[in-house]
Chains A and B, each alone.
Chain A
């Protein structure tokens, strides 16, 4: 019994060797693939479909009145794993809000941390430049990004669908008294 198995094995080996059967199988595969559709996306002409909720370049959200929602609480800067958000406040205003984009890892923690939904990651991913300074995002640039990439309802929908500011789900119940700040 065992003898016949080895004989069969040997014949199999010989057939494999002298008919190039495995090479022919491989060649059949490559020939089939030649007539299949190429997966290449010809970048400047064609673009990859951007999935909703894509995490691209940052923007600072504006409210209805067109002013920045950001209050400069610094939660985004605190949670940022790569420490690339720099905020300073002066005279009760957000004085500086800068994102060092070259260090950003696009984790989206800043968006998640923000209680006001004031910072977003837009769908823009084409912002390479020859100079580092042009990529370093300052406050006015971040605000203009909002107008550019999140026009109209898009920004709000983006928040509702993908980020839902924590304040919406975990806000204080309407009846409860809260400290609303000093009366002017």
Chain B
């Protein structure tokens, strides 16, 4: 029997193509997830190490050489811990909250580009799971979704500490999201696109090589807002240990706690990637470096991307080891009274410069 009698060659071709595309996407998801989770595991390890050394301690040393296997020991411990649900908790919501939180931060991994696309046998593989044109907006939206997880968990725990943590988080994330969004508008104006790959390409073609130089104000605002957005010190009001036990996830234990933990660290990696992509030139290097040292072009772009991300993450550790926590009203004051007006002024100036430059054809 001839296969052409059952299905036309064109249709078969289309099916095969479709199948391969699906396979490629699944492969991408697997790779990104695996690498992402590995990064999370070692982000916790290096956070403890870096902060330890900054405080003249050693950090984890016992599990494996220099404590290198500590993340796996932690994971195992969390996995086998008893799962405690408070007696009067809103059970269903209590179960859903960590999943919402983790999913909202994990889904961001799908729009982060790591490099330019490359071609293997007619198939162009772009190192993004979803190369969407509203990448930047999508990340904002998902950051906003994450608040639901936090807030719901605080509500469902039926505990005053968790509830206060949830409230604080909602207030803080909402206020700082405005500043962060506004700080990135400058980047959008300069790049003329919301697609993250296009933003990187625009930086590569720009005079400065990265937007962090012309958009220095935006970069500083973004950095501060990103720290607040990921609930890290000095803006860790939602989980202020000395005030709220552990904040919104006080009542969570075992694997559910691990989900929150995972979500938080992925959010941190996402914010570092955003800073890298929007301000530091992503996987490209400024032309004035590549022209001075030409052989640097042979290094694959993903290396630069990862190095920039690691530098950003290290910066987060660094300020955590240095700064004490702000008071709650100070956090709100910084957000509303300083960051948002400055970000608006930055947009105005960037816009004006852009208009003048297009008018004179520069």
Q: Is the CB of A30 within 8 A of B57?
A: no
Max chain B Cβ within 10 angstroms of own Cβ: one of A23, A27, A36, A39: A27
Q: Is the CB of B323 within 8 A of A42?
A: no
Max chain A Cβ within 10 angstroms of own Cβ: one of B319, B321, B322: B322
Q: Indicate if B16 sits at the interface (CB-CB under 8 A).
A: no
Q: Which residues of B contact A37 (CB under 8 A)?
A: 56
Within 8 A of B (CB), among A20-42: 23, 26-27, 29-31, 33-40, 42
User: What string of 1s and 0s marks CB contacts (under 8 Å) between A136-175 and chain B?
Assistant: 0000000000000000000000000000000000000000
Q: Is the CB of A33 within 8 A of B58?
A: no
**Contact among B53, B56, B323 with A26 in the assembled complex (CB-CB below 8 Å):** B323
A35 to B55, CA, bound (A): 10
Q: Is the CB of B61 within 8 A of A42?
A: yes
**Contact among B50, B57, B319 with A27 in the assembled complex (CB-CB below 8 Å):** B319
Q: Is the CB of B58 within 8 A of A30?
A: no
Q: Which residue of B lies closest to A35 (CB)?
A: B53
Per DSSP, chain B at the interface is: helix
Tell me the minimal C-beta distance from A88 to chain B in angstroms.
47
Q: Is the CB of A40 within 8 A of B322?
A: no
Q: Which residues of A contact B318 (CB under 8 A)?
A: 27, 30-31
Within 8 A of A (CB), among B70-102: none
Q: Is the CB of A30 within 8 A of B322?
A: yes
Within 8 A of B (CB), among A68-98: none
Q: Is the CB of B322 within 8 A of A26?
A: yes
Knowing A23-B323, A26-B323, say if A31 contacts B54 (CB, 8 Å): yes
Knowing A27-B318, A27-B322, say if A40 contacts B57 (CB, 8 Å): yes
Q: Which residues of A contact B53 (CB under 8 A)?
A: 33-35, 38
Q: Which residues of B contact A36 (CB under 8 A)?
A: 56
Q: Indicate if B117 sits at the interface (CB-CB under 8 A).
A: no
Q: Is the CB of B322 within 8 A of A38?
A: no
Q: Is the CB of B323 within 8 A of A33?
A: no
User: What string of 1s and 0s marks CB contacts (under 8 Å) between A82-117 and chain B?
Assistant: 000000000000000000000000000000000000
Q: Indicate if B52 sits at the interface (CB-CB under 8 A).
A: yes
Q: Is the CB of B319 within 8 A of A39?
A: no
Q: Which residues of A contact B54 (CB under 8 A)?
A: 30-31, 33-34
Q: Which residue of A lies closest to B234 (CB)?
A: A23
**Contact among A23, A27, A33 with B55 in the assembled complex (CB-CB below 8 Å):** A33
User: What string of 1s and 0s marks CB contacts (under 8 Å) between B271-308 and chain A?
Assistant: 00000000000000000000000000000000000000
Within 8 A of A (CB), among B320-362: 321-323
Tell me the minimal C-beta distance from B182 to chain A in angstroms.
18
Q: Which residue of A lies closest to B52 (CB)?
A: A38
Sampled A-B contacts (18; CB under 8 Å): A23-B319, A23-B323, A26-B322, A26-B323, A27-B318, A27-B319, A30-B54, A30-B321, A31-B318, A33-B56, A34-B53, A34-B54, A35-B53, A38-B56, A38-B57, A39-B56, A40-B61, A42-B58
Q: Interface of A with B (CB < 8 Å)?
A: 23, 26-27, 29-31, 33-40, 42
Having A30-B321, A31-B54, one finds 6 other A-B pairs with CB under 8 Å, namely: A27-B318, A27-B319, A33-B56, A39-B56, A40-B61, A42-B58
The 9 closest A-B pairs by CB, nearest first: A40-B58, A30-B54, A34-B53, A30-B322, A38-B58, A34-B54, A26-B322, A27-B322, A30-B321
